[in-house]
Structures are given as structure tokens and as C-alpha cells.
């Protein structure tokens, strides 16, 4: 129970499904990306170039781009045994 002055309100736990959490994260990411593209276009960078720059930061494919450049810090790099 949470008290507000003399009135008490019961605490209600609300759980969200994984799909709801993922949708919220994707929506927030899309808003951040749109805001950054808008800021870059205000600086005079063409919209397509700004979108490519932002998409690369968020590891998103742009338009007809086949595959994003692999991140060397993700699990697709060669193993230490192969390097040595």
C-alpha cells in the first residue's frame, strides 16, 4: 500500500510480455534514430547520408544494402586458436 497523505492506494503489479517489451524498445530506438537524422539534416547533411550514418550506429540495414559490415567484437570473428 502506498500512502498519499491520509489516503492509501494498493500497489498493482503489471507484467509485460516479451513482445510488448521488444515493441517498446524498437519504438524508442526508431524515435532516437529519427531525432538524430533530423539533427544531422539541420546541420546540412543530406537525409540519405544521415540515415546511413545513424543506421550503421544502430546496426540496421539501409534500403537495398545486402549485409551490414560485420562487427569484429561480435561472435563471428575467428577463434584465438586460428589466430595463433
What stretch of H or E contains 7?
strand 7-9
Q: pTM of the predicted model, to two decimals?
A: 0.52
* Domain residue spans of the chain: 30-62
N-to-C CA span, the chain? 61
Which pLDDT does position 57 carry in this prediction?
A: 83
- In this predicted model, what pLDDT tens digit does every residue of 8-55 receive, in sequence order? 667 777 788 999 999 999 999 999 999 999 999 999 999 999 988 888
Choice between 21 and 79, residue whose per-residue pLDDT is larger: 21
Choice between 16 and 75, residue whose per-residue pLDDT is larger: 16
- Listed in sequence order, the residues at least 6 apart from 21 whose beta carbon sits closer than 8 Å to its beta carbon are none
Confidence class for position 80, pLDDT limits 50, 70, 90: low
Q: Beta partners for 8?
A: 3
Candidates 9, 52, 11, 5; CA nearest to 33 is: 52
Amino acid at each position: 500500500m502506498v500512502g498519499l497523505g491520509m489516503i492509501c492506494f494498493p500497489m498493482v503489479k503489471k507484467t509485460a510480455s516479451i513482445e510488448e517489451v521488444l515493441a517498446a524498445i524498437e519504438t524508442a530506438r526508431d524515435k532516437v534514430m529519427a531525432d538524430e537524422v533530423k539533427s544531422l539534416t539541420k546541420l546540412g547533411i543530406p537525409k540519405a547520408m544521415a540515415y546511413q550514418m545513424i543506421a550503421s550506429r544502430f546496426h540496421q540495414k539501409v534500403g537495398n544494402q545486402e549485409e551490414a559490415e560485420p562487427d569484429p567484437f561480435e561472435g563471428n570473428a575467428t577463434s584465438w586458436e586460428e589466430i595463433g
